[in-house]
Amino acid sequence: MHGGVSLQEMVIPVVRLETKKTPPLPVREMKVKISLSSPRITTRLFSIYLDYTPAGLYAPAEIRVKTTIKSGNQEVGTATMAAYGFEEGTREILLKKGKINNIAFRLAETAGIEYVSVHVLDAVSQVELARIEKIPVNISI
Protein backbone atom coordinates (compact mmCIF):
# COMPACT_ATOMS: atom_id res chain seq x y z
CA MET A 1 0.00 0.00 0.00
CA HIS A 2 2.85 2.40 0.74
CA GLY A 3 5.57 1.11 -1.54
CA GLY A 4 7.61 -1.23 0.67
CA VAL A 5 8.60 -2.27 4.15
CA SER A 6 9.79 0.48 6.50
CA LEU A 7 12.61 0.13 9.04
CA GLN A 8 10.11 0.12 11.93
CA GLU A 9 8.34 -2.90 10.40
CA MET A 10 11.57 -4.88 9.96
CA VAL A 11 13.28 -4.38 13.34
CA ILE A 12 11.90 -6.10 16.43
CA PRO A 13 13.26 -4.69 19.69
CA VAL A 14 14.38 -7.34 22.16
CA VAL A 15 15.48 -6.79 25.74
CA ARG A 16 16.96 -9.52 27.90
CA LEU A 17 16.94 -9.02 31.66
CA GLU A 18 18.79 -11.20 34.12
CA THR A 19 18.65 -10.98 37.88
CA LYS A 20 21.86 -10.33 39.70
CA LYS A 21 22.53 -13.29 41.94
CA THR A 22 24.33 -12.29 45.08
CA PRO A 23 25.08 -15.03 47.55
CA PRO A 24 23.89 -14.38 51.10
CA LEU A 25 26.54 -13.33 53.56
CA PRO A 26 27.74 -15.83 56.12
CA VAL A 27 25.92 -15.30 59.40
CA ARG A 28 29.20 -15.09 61.28
CA GLU A 29 29.87 -11.74 59.55
CA MET A 30 26.65 -10.19 60.88
CA LYS A 31 26.58 -9.41 64.60
CA VAL A 32 23.38 -7.82 65.87
CA LYS A 33 22.86 -6.83 69.50
CA ILE A 34 19.35 -6.38 70.94
CA SER A 35 18.75 -4.01 73.85
CA LEU A 36 15.43 -3.46 75.57
CA SER A 37 14.16 0.02 76.33
CA SER A 38 12.55 -1.39 79.48
CA PRO A 39 13.11 -4.66 81.38
CA ARG A 40 9.42 -5.62 80.96
CA ILE A 41 6.56 -4.86 78.59
CA THR A 42 3.77 -2.88 80.28
CA THR A 43 1.79 -1.64 77.23
CA ARG A 44 0.90 -2.99 73.81
CA LEU A 45 3.46 -0.61 72.29
CA PHE A 46 7.12 -1.03 73.20
CA SER A 47 10.53 -0.54 71.62
CA ILE A 48 13.90 -2.21 71.33
CA TYR A 49 17.31 -1.07 70.07
CA LEU A 50 19.26 -2.95 67.40
CA ASP A 51 22.99 -2.39 66.97
CA TYR A 52 24.80 -3.90 63.96
CA THR A 53 28.53 -4.54 64.14
CA PRO A 54 30.24 -6.07 61.08
CA ALA A 55 32.43 -8.97 62.18
CA GLY A 56 34.35 -9.92 59.05
CA LEU A 57 36.81 -8.23 56.76
CA TYR A 58 34.31 -8.03 53.89
CA ALA A 59 31.13 -7.52 55.92
CA PRO A 60 28.78 -4.88 54.46
CA ALA A 61 28.30 -1.49 56.07
CA GLU A 62 24.53 -2.10 56.24
CA ILE A 63 22.15 -5.07 56.30
CA ARG A 64 18.39 -5.64 56.13
CA VAL A 65 16.67 -7.64 58.86
CA LYS A 66 13.19 -8.77 59.86
CA THR A 67 11.93 -9.05 63.41
CA THR A 68 9.30 -11.19 65.09
CA ILE A 69 7.74 -11.17 68.53
CA LYS A 70 6.71 -14.63 69.73
CA SER A 71 5.00 -16.17 72.71
CA GLY A 72 5.95 -19.82 72.51
CA ASN A 73 5.63 -20.68 68.81
CA GLN A 74 2.92 -18.12 68.11
CA GLU A 75 3.74 -14.74 66.58
CA VAL A 76 2.04 -12.09 68.71
CA GLY A 77 3.52 -8.79 67.55
CA THR A 78 5.00 -6.89 64.63
CA ALA A 79 7.33 -3.97 64.03
CA THR A 80 5.42 -0.79 63.26
CA MET A 81 8.20 1.75 62.72
CA ALA A 82 11.91 2.44 63.12
CA ALA A 83 14.17 5.43 63.61
CA TYR A 84 15.50 4.88 60.07
CA GLY A 85 15.23 2.38 57.21
CA PHE A 86 11.82 0.78 57.87
CA GLU A 87 10.06 -0.67 54.81
CA GLU A 88 6.36 -0.87 55.68
CA GLY A 89 5.37 -3.26 52.89
CA THR A 90 7.93 -5.96 53.68
CA ARG A 91 8.54 -5.00 57.36
CA GLU A 92 12.28 -5.10 56.66
CA ILE A 93 14.53 -2.87 58.72
CA LEU A 94 17.84 -1.38 57.62
CA LEU A 95 20.72 -1.54 60.08
CA LYS A 96 23.83 0.56 59.51
CA LYS A 97 27.25 -0.08 60.97
CA GLY A 98 27.68 1.74 64.26
CA LYS A 99 24.24 3.42 64.14
CA ILE A 100 21.68 2.12 66.65
CA ASN A 101 18.14 1.77 65.28
CA ASN A 102 15.16 2.18 67.63
CA ILE A 103 12.36 -0.20 66.57
CA ALA A 104 8.76 0.23 67.77
CA PHE A 105 6.54 -2.85 68.13
CA ARG A 106 2.85 -3.47 68.68
CA LEU A 107 1.51 -6.54 70.43
CA ALA A 108 -1.56 -7.85 68.61
CA GLU A 109 -2.51 -10.32 71.32
CA THR A 110 -2.00 -9.95 75.07
CA ALA A 111 -4.52 -12.37 76.63
CA GLY A 112 -2.74 -15.11 78.55
CA ILE A 113 0.74 -13.98 77.57
CA GLU A 114 3.28 -13.94 80.39
CA TYR A 115 6.52 -13.83 78.39
CA VAL A 116 7.56 -12.99 74.84
CA SER A 117 10.76 -13.33 72.85
CA VAL A 118 12.25 -11.02 70.22
CA HIS A 119 13.89 -12.61 67.17
CA VAL A 120 16.01 -10.80 64.57
CA LEU A 121 16.37 -12.57 61.20
CA ASP A 122 18.48 -11.84 58.14
CA ALA A 123 16.00 -10.60 55.50
CA VAL A 124 17.62 -12.62 52.69
CA SER A 125 18.46 -15.98 54.25
CA GLN A 126 15.93 -15.91 57.16
CA VAL A 127 18.72 -17.08 59.50
CA GLU A 128 18.33 -15.91 63.08
CA LEU A 129 20.97 -13.31 63.97
CA ALA A 130 19.93 -12.49 67.53
CA ARG A 131 17.25 -13.22 70.11
CA ILE A 132 16.11 -12.22 73.59
CA GLU A 133 13.84 -14.64 75.43
CA LYS A 134 11.62 -14.50 78.52
CA ILE A 135 10.72 -10.81 78.41
CA PRO A 136 7.95 -10.41 81.03
CA VAL A 137 4.63 -8.99 79.87
CA ASN A 138 2.69 -7.14 82.59
CA ILE A 139 -0.20 -5.31 80.92
CA SER A 140 -2.78 -4.30 83.49
CA ILE A 141 -5.57 -3.17 81.15
pLDDT at 24: 58
pLDDT at 76: 92
Torsions phi, psi of 66, nearest 5?
Answer: -125, 155
Q: Is 5 within 8 Å of 30 (Cβ atoms)?
A: no
pLDDT at 83: 96
Q: Is 66 within 8 Å of 93 (Cβ atoms)?
A: yes
Number of domains in the chain: 1
- CATH number where 77 lies: 2.60.40.10
Per DSSP, the residues of 16-54 read -------PPPPGGGEEEEEEESSSSB-SSEEEEEEEEEE
Beta bridge partners of 132: 118
Instruction: For residue range 91-101, list pLDDT tens digits in order.
Output: 999 999 989 99
Whether 68 is in a domain gets the answer: yes
Name residues whose C-beta falls within 8 Å of residue 73's C-beta, 6 or more positions apart in sequence: none
The C-alpha atoms of residue 77 and residue 84 are separated, in whole angstroms, by 20
The C-alpha atoms of residue 75 and residue 69 are separated, in whole angstroms, by 6
Whether 8 is in a domain gets the answer: no
Whether 6 is in a domain gets the answer: no
Res. 87 pLDDT band, cuts 50 70 90 = very high
Domain span at 32: 26-136
Global pTM reads: 0.76
Asked if residue 64 has pLDDT above 80, the reply is: yes
pLDDT at 57: 77
pLDDT at 82: 96
pLDDT at 141: 66
Whether 129 is in a domain gets the answer: yes
